[in-house]
Amino acid sequence: MHSLYTRLLLAASPLALAVPVAASAQQIADDTAAPTPISTLASAATAGDAIIVTARRREETAQEIPLAISVIGGDTLEELGAFNVQRLQALTPALNFYSSNPRNTAINIRGIGVPFGLTNDGFDQGVGIYVDDVYFARIASATLDFLDVAQIEVLRGPQGTLYGKNTTAGALNITTRRPTFNFEGSAEVTFGNLGFKQAKASVSGPLADDLAARLAISSTSRRGTIYNVATGNYINEQDNLGLRGQLLWEPSDNVEVLFAADFSRQNPECCAQIYVRTGPTQRPLNRQYEALAAAQGYQVVSTNPFDRLTDVDAPLNAGNEIGGASVRVIWDTGPGTFTSISAYRYWDWLPENDRDFTGLPINTASNNPSQQKQWTQELRYSHTGSAYDFLIGAFAFHQAVRTQGLTRFGPAASRWLINPSNALANDPTVLDGLIANNDIRLDNTSLAAFGQFNWKLTDRFSIQPGFRVNYDKKVGLYESVVTNGDGELVTFASTDPRVVQQRGVAAPQRFEPTFSDWNFSFEITATYELADDIHSYATYAETFKPGGVNLNGVPNDAAGNPILAAGSVKPESVTHYEAGVKSQFWDRRVTLNVGAFRTDIADYQALVVNGQFGVQRGYLANAEAVRTQGFEWDLSVRPSSRFNAYVSGSHTDATYRRFPDAPCPPELSGGGAGTPIGAPGAPGTNSPANCDISGQSLPGVSKWVVSYGAEANTPASLLGTEGEIYAGVDANTRSSFSSNPTPSAYTQVAGYTITNFRVGYRSDNGFNVFAWARNAFDTRYFEQLAVPSGNTGLIVGQPGDPRTYGLTLSTTF
């Protein structure tokens, strides 16, 4: 356990990311400046009237950078209530966020990033999260609240020639507010329905002539949106706390040292997925959900998921603690700039789940507490000149993950899991007390050298080649020791009929997968300035995602031995094409950026869900080929300082190009082996061993996503203070998407639109008060649907938040 001193040592740091898409905004410096277009997403750092980004490790305007990038300012995040990545996806159409709990969180860009489904620790994420230059290896950090954020850059496309950790889909570059040598501060409180309470505060100022400090704190709580009739509690609540501290030391004019630390904690009663529907499978009818429930006299508390009721009977918890410390040194040597970032981070996960999703004591515990530590060191040297500039860097990363899994079965398990034709199904003692204890370990090391160069061949034309050399090594362990209710080991050597049934539900297994490989990747970007305010770019990249190891168990052969060939997965080979134009018109009152992309992936790392109940979490496998392609646009207009509007959108066609041996959807699963193959959902028929899903959609990807909004204001005074009254609307529309690794009629999530309103008063001296309504029309939608293990035909899901409303007051000084 970490001492209190160590935990309070953890606080903040500035960050950056890079990816190709179209940048989204301009902001006028004040009301007297020439009107400049602004998306309501872009209250970010400005230079004159231009949004400044650091995606390429130097300050540039968003319009000039040849990358696909959306920029969202900290003030905008606060006004729109986007206090975590889940809320952020409503503002950035190509970004997809899915989470059944903090550990089982996925962030994808343009449909790729991580396999959709329950998390496996043994692979790398394709979307990088950087906070003040520090790479966050655990995607769970994305579920925590943003804290004292200055700006977020969402970068789309492969990143690896400018960043420490290679990412193939994109990155979130989060920059926090720096310590200042002038005293300043801010405070914000929010109250809303469902008991929503949020408070944020920060203070910054000098400690000495060469030393400044900044401290920020955030706390969020909200009653759960699901009522558990079994316990009388509202679950799936919010309970978040965050602290961030920084010290900035400037010993000379050309050296700065930033010490940063952060600590974040979640402790909600969470997270339950609830009954949505049933769909017939090819299992015998007496082994499907309705028959199994009827056999035990069980009836779900509600068949309408938007009643928001459940009766799950196992304890729930989503304890989640993340923290770290870093030191960033920047030294201006004259010819160039040297940067060093040293960081340590930890992540502690203490969950409790009910994996049968019912009020029956089938699974009485399904918990995988986990601890992760990571160490990173990044070195960069950059030079900027009139004819050329370059950046070269080196990166070292080590991650250690230790997980202690526990799955326990209860007295209702025998009737639910054993074939009713077997007399043992009527004996609750067969599976009652059956326990699988898992020891899961990963040691992950990555070393890299990278660089990017920029040659300005003419005043309007330049080329930017980049490279990366990477070494990755992963060493894993998966061991599952199974004991029955009598305390006896369950083994494959036993022929006892009771043990045979027990190991069919929870099979013992041990294997030690390894992976290591070198990779080389490169990219080249060409940019051409068509006119003073019209910039074009084109990018070609060949990159990779490192191979991985399976750490959630793999199928056994007939003798009960793990199939070791499934212990690791090959690297993804990625070929990426992108082109875009960034333009401004009407004296920069209008910004229009458009881009098109195509990414081809060989040996795509996909999640395969095994039909056995005991292999609950699925495992990784390689699909032969995947492709994602489409186009994106970002239009913003600001005819005057009193009105602005934006519309951003994406069309993404993400499909398996070749995956002939994929797992079948639930309607084609659970039946017997042999021929003929039964019709989908025909009980008691035969199922194919696998299914060819070539040409079908990747999970979690809406083909069309559009974000749009507007804000208008008028001058006003309040209590003798000058300011403005404003009103705004923001909305996000997305089309339907598959919510299963293999598309299924049972798990297709319908498209929906979420609309948010706000109206308030902001003064010239930093005071702001506004009322807000999110999901104002109370749209009923699902964030995610899932097929529980066992293939009984049960479909569970997470209803999205209902209408929420409240009041926010904030001030800066």
Over residues 771-796, the pLDDT tens digits come to 999 999 999 999 999 998 878 999 99
Could you report the per-residue pLDDT of 361-407, keeping only the tens digit for each?
Answer: 999 999 989 999 999 999 999 998 889 999 999 999 999 999 998 99
The DSSP result for 225-265, as a single string, is: SEEETTTTEEES-EEEEEEEEEEEEEEETTEEEEEEEEEEE
The reported pLDDT for the residue numbered 392 is 95
**Percent of the chain at pLDDT above 70?**
92
CA distance 259 to 246: 6
Token couple for 418: 């054993």
- Give the domain CATH number at 600: 2.40.170.20
Largest CA distance in the chain: 87
Q: Read off the pTM.
A: 0.89
CA distance 748 to 734: 13
The reported pLDDT for the residue numbered 25 is 33
The reported pLDDT for the residue numbered 571 is 94
The kind and range of the H/E element at 536 are strand 534-545
CA distance 343 to 13: 10
Contact 303, 276 (CB under 8 A): no
Token couple for 452: 């990017």
Count Cβ neighbours within 10 Å for each residue of 729-749 and write b for 16 or more, e otherwise.
Answer: bbbbbbbebbbbbbbbebbeb
Residue numbers in the chain where pLDDT is lower than 70: 1-50, 55, 82, 117-118, 141-142, 609-618
The DSSP result for 692-761, as a single string, is: --TTPBPTT--SEEEEEEEEEEEEEEETTEEEEEEEEEEEEEE--EE-SSS--TTSEEPPEEEEEEEEEE
SS3 letters for 158-219?
CECCCCCCCECCEEEEEEECCCCCCCEEEEEEEEECCCEEEEEEEEEEEEECCEEEEEEEEE
The reported pLDDT for the residue numbered 539 is 97
CA distance 480 to 465: 48
The reported pLDDT for the residue numbered 113 is 87
Contact 125, 119 (CB under 8 A): no
CA distance 181 to 250: 11
CA distance 431 to 531: 73
For residue 211, give Cα distances in angstroms to 207, 249, 297.
5, 5, 69
Structural domain of residue 416, as residue ranges?
4-812
CA distance 421 to 287: 10
Number of C-beta neighbours around residue 191 at 10 A: 13
Q: Are strands 95-99 and 105-109 parallel, antiparallel or unpaired?
A: antiparallel
Give the chain's domain count: 1
For residue 525, give Cα distances in angstroms to 116, 193, 444, 733.
31, 49, 31, 32
Among residues 639, 634, 624, the alpha carbon closest in space to that of 20 is found at: 634
